[in-house]
Chains A and B, each alone.
Chain A
Amino acid sequence: MSDTTTETTMEVNAEARRILAVSISKLYASRSQRGGLRLHRSLLLSLVMRSARDIYHSSVPPAEPMDTSPEEPAELDLESGPQPDETSAELSLTARGGAHREEEGEPAEDKENQSPTRCSRKRRGKTSVAPHFLPSKRARLEPGEERHAALPPPPPVSCRIGPAESLTSLSLNRVIPAC
């Protein structure tokens, strides 16, 4: 019986990962759509991503860390774009949202040291375990390839900060909210 449940869990897990990957690529593609970001569509995509992430986490043993981070910056795209005065609020949404989902296993003292935008430098070590559904960082780091890669975009880590490995993606993410 445990075999079947593990199987199903694995299937569900794989399915959730796939949907997450598809959703991220859709969100990314919608940035270059004519007419600007569509709020309704972005909202629906983020809802699906949230459900997929919840399922992914519920079906994955708790030892697996920090897979929540990739989705948060995508929430930036929820905004329709024409809100220049709210850009700062939108950006902090990412980090704050990510913070809510942090694993409870983190040591308490880190919370005290966290900046308001919850730049979790402490995550550096943990992100070395990259989420399976996102492309490997090696592919990302090829110069000039980020925009043209057929693979989904680089893992959108919290855009304000980033672990050392994702500096390239960091610059990409900095550019995007400006529009």
Chain B
Amino acid sequence: MRLAQFLNATCVGHFESVMRGEAGTREFLKVECKVFTPVPSNTRSNLHSSTSHRQSEAAGSATTVLTVQGLIPLQRPPCPFPWTTIMAGVGDEIDEVQWCFSQVKGAIDDDVADADIISTVEFNHSGELLATGDKGGRVVIFQQEPESKNQPQCRGDYNVYSTFQSHEPEFDYLKSLEIEEKINKIRWLPQKNAAHFLLSTNDKTIKLWKISERDKRPEGYNLKEDDGRYRDPNTVTTLRVPIFRPMDLMVEASPRRVYANAHTYHINSISVNSDCETYLSSDDLRINLWHLEITDRSFNIVDIKPANMEELTEVITASAFHPNQCNTFVYSSSKGAIRLCDMRMSALCDNHAKFFEEPEDPNNRSFFSEITSSISDVNFSHSGRYMMTRDYLSIKIWDLNMETRPVETYQVHEYLRSKLCSLYENDCIFDKFECCWNGNDSVVMTGSYNNFFRMFDRGYRRDVTLEASRENSKPQSVLKPRKVSSGGKRKKDEISVDSLDFNKKILHTAWHPLDNVIAVATTNNLYIFQDKLN
């Protein structure tokens, strides 16, 4: 049984993990369980994590004592058994998810056309469809093939389902500005009927696209041929009733709504509300609320533009609606703060309901602190209890009930902290990394440089660095964890910080909502990885 699964199932304030396995096996794991009374939050710093394997003294049997400590999300009443020793079966070591290469999409050659740079990746709510947007304004949607009966253990491949040009470059004549066609964000609407709907946005305009299938067409008209040419009415001697005949599947994408002219600054986020009727869009200084049906107006709900632009100190960097509460949304700022707003409080939500900010660690204060503390992405957990923010060097997980500091902080690439000056010069410090949750909110993932991406297991306090590269792209080949050495002695297989390729960055990642399938975008390629099924 997977340890991670068990940990998620029995949730207590703090406790040492318990592993239960099959009974009746010869080899087993013996685990000690200890229940702590919950410690007041203000006395705890960051989480502790320690794992140790100790051979038990019992001769003749292979028993290992495992002690794991961790903070588990509270979901069930505390375990009533203090100091319980539970025999666990299964002789193998602790279950670890192994990630395997599945597919890679995109051109192979190193010469990357600007327009092919992937700018956003998003699974739909069922995970069956995977949408990508690129710098050239195109959207490509992949669809997962149904599991074949021959290989029930294999998940279906993702193949191209639809490709369309969502946005074109525009020119704002009044301001003499070119408007980029790059797709900044794609958000799927929950599916209501056979067609799929998604919102895609560039810097200024949001569009609602309908993607529908057509597999029948009418044939047998009287006044026109099947190829569309009109028949001379004089040649019609008999009448027939047109009927629908099957045809090759055609997937059509059509723009159903265009929401334009509502943003003075560059749109950075869109988020569909849980009411499925409204959505928000945010730019650097304002957030607008739209109704999906109405394109000629939107409501401005947040406006942080100062009366005097000289006094500008903070901009909005990302925003999101709460997954369950249709009145709640958050927005993050360039100063590293997140504000939660309740639309029931007032029409204009300039006054926040909650304000999340962690006091700066004076030890980490550097010349570039203002840039590295700027939040690049904010995401609610699927449960709605937590939200995750990504700044340049770390991921922070916040409990919505606690505003003073995050409950968890993960350093993504701490070794870059001493390189901030060079990263400033080569512009990398301005890179906006995204982050995502897995389906049950137990693992979070984000990208880094050198085509590395990182996963942090919250329950088990384990993290891994993996690489998306063509070298590891044999089907079903297991990805080997990578390690970056921050200085001093470099161990074998480690990569030194100076040999990292900062042009190979993974900014966009997505996790299948229901399965362990991930989509990772390098500059112009999309990698799909899945966990190894036994």
Contacts and interface: CB of A to CB of B under 8 A. Distances in A.
Nearest to A25: B425
Chain A binding surface, main DSSP class = helix
Interface in B254-269: 264-266, 268
Given A22-B424, A179-B175, A75 B374 contact: no
Contacts of B265: 39, 80
Interface stretch (A59-67, A90-98, A134-142): A90-98
Contacts of A39: 265-266, 284-285, 312, 315
A114 interface: no
A47 B371 contact: yes
Given A34-B178, A34-B180, A81-B175, A48 B334 contact: no
Nearest to A15: B421
Interface string A35-62: 1101111011001100110010000000
Question: How big is the A interface, by class?
Answer: 20 to 34
Contact of B370 (A34, A51, A84): A51
A171 interface: no
A35 B312 CA distance: 21
B490 to A, nearest CB: 28
B367 A35 contact: no
Contacts of A41: 430
A79 B315 CA distance: 12
A78 B309 contact: yes
Given A35-B266, A51-B370, A80-B265, A40 B176 contact: no
Nearest to A92: B310
A19 B421 contact: yes
Nearest to B169: A34
A93 B374 CA distance: 24
A44 B264 contact: no
Contacts of B299: none
A143 interface: no
Given A39-B266, A39-B315, A47 B308 contact: no
A11 to B, nearest CB: 12
A36 B266 CA distance: 9
A86 interface: yes
Nearest to A12: B367
A78 B285 CA distance: 13
B132 interface: no
Contacts of A84: 174-175
Contact of A35 (B180, B370, B430): B180
A93 B308 CA distance: 9
B501 to A, nearest CB: 22
10 contacts: A26-B427, A39-B315, A43-B312, A43-B334, A44-B370, A47-B371, A48-B368, A52-B367, A86-B309, A179-B175
Interface of A: 15, 19, 22, 26, 34-36, 38-41, 43-44, 47-48, 51-52, 55, 75, 78-84, 86, 89-90, 93, 96-97, 179
Given A39-B265, A39-B312, A44-B334, 10 more contacts: A22-B425, A34-B180, A36-B266, A40-B334, A48-B370, A48-B371, A80-B264, A82-B175, A83-B309, A89-B309
